[in-house]
């Protein structure tokens, strides 16, 4: 068995947030390999998190995130079991990360795939079944291809299935399960709303120069009217006599 130094244990703890004894055991189980130890802890964390999923989570936080420039805003509710955990910095950090994740994912509309209405899945199926690239394939193969495409599309709508913006190697669901392992309570994202400035409003197209002039109280210059053609000059009696001569 590899000699596990205190520094190695501390490095693993800094990377995962797991307890010192758990980190030491993970390193012992994986001969001091820190990457394998991280995977081992993740697996153990997911296993312990699944045992807590059925417990009631009615405490937690409602938090907001406004993206730079004020054009995108998010409200999210994340629940835990006790007010004690809700006040911990680790939980607050998780809620903030989830809010930022939602702001960064314009396609996400639901917390998890199971929340997506069945009529949306049926609509996606009808679209995929009509695509030209599978028209000549056997029916069984068509069903398999379409099912794979639908699952991919539904995951694009699901928050839990998104790669975590701060660590693309894990999903949002795995992030939450890791936090469950650290804090020892069931944690659930309950609901969220995403606001985009001007979304759904029909905007009137205007000429920018005209708009600036209007704000400045200036009148738009009108093009000059075309000059009227001069009327033929009437000859005098004297001019007529000169021409006859």
Q: 164-212, pLDDT tens digit by residue?
A: 999 999 999 999 998 998 888 899 999 999 999 998 888 776 665 666 6
Q: pLDDT at residue 56 above 80?
A: no
Over residues 229-237, the mean pLDDT reads 57
Residues 6+ apart with CB under 8 A from 64: 73, 74, 75, 76, 99
Query: Could you tell me if 9 and 41 are in contact, meaning their C-beta atoms sit under 8 angstroms apart?
Result: no
**Residue 192 lies inside a defined structural domain of this protein:** yes
Q: What is the mean pLDDT of the chain?
A: 83
Kindly state whether residue 233 falls inside one of the protein's structural domains: no
More confident residue, 47 or 35: 35
pLDDT value at 240 more than 60 = no
Of 52, 79, 94, the domain-final residue: 52
5, 17: one domain: yes
Q: Are 171 and 78 in contact (CB under 8 A)?
A: no
Closest CA to 110 of 124, 120, 97, 100: 120
Same domain, 8 and 89: no
Residue 147 lies in a domain: no
Give the torsion through C-alpha atoms of 5, 8, 13, 14, to 10 deg. Answer: 140
Q: Which pLDDT tens digit goes with each residue over 8-23?
A: 888 887 777 677 778 8
From residue 62, how far is each of 74, 94, 116, 197 by CA, in Å?
10, 12, 22, 21
Residues 105, 46 within the same domain: no
Range(s) of the domain holding residue 21? 1-52
Judgement on whether residues 44 and 4 belong to the same structural domain of the protein:
yes
Examine the domain organization and report whether 26 and 111 are in the same domain: no
**Contact 109/159 with Cβ under 8 angstroms?**
no
Nearest to 15 by CA among 27, 3, 29: 27
pLDDT at 237 over 60: no
Give the whole-angstrom CA distance, residue 145 versus residue 187. Answer: 35
Residues 17 and 105 in one domain: no
Total tally of structural domains belonging to the chain: 2
Q: Are 171 and 105 in contact (CB under 8 A)?
A: no
State CA 169 to chain mean position distance. Answer: 17
Same-domain check for residues 30 and 61: no
């Amino acid at each position: 068995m590899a000699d596990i130094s205190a520094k190695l244990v501390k490095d693993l703890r800094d990377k995962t947030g797991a307890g010192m004894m758990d980190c030491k055991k993970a390193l012992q189980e994986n001969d001091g390999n820190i990457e394998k130890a991280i995977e081992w802890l993740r697996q153990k964390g997911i296993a312990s998190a699944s045992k807590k999923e059925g417990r009631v989570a009615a405490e937690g936080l409602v938090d907001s995130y406004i993206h730079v420039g004020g054009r995108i805003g998010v409200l999210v509710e994340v629940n835990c079991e006790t007010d004690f955990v809700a006040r911990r910095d680790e939980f607050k950090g998780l809620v903030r990360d989830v809010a930022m994740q939602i702001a960064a994912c314009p396609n996400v509309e639901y917390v998890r795939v199971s929340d997506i209405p069945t009529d949306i899945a049926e609509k996606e199926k009808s679209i995929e079944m009509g695509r030209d690239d599978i028209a000549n394939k056997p029916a069984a193969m068509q069903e398999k291809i379409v099912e794979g495409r639908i699952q991919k599309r539904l995951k694009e709508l699901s928050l839990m299935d998104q790669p975590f913006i701060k660590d693309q190697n894990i999903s949002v669901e795995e992030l939450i399960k890791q936090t469950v392992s650290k804090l020892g309570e069931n944690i659930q994202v309950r609901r969220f709303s995403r606001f985009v400035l001007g979304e759904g409003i029909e905007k009137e197209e205007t000429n920018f120069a005209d708009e600036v002039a209007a704000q400045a109280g200036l009148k738009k210059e009108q093009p000059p009217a075309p000059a009227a053609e001069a009327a033929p000059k009437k000859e005098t009696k004297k001019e007529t006599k000169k021409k006859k001569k």
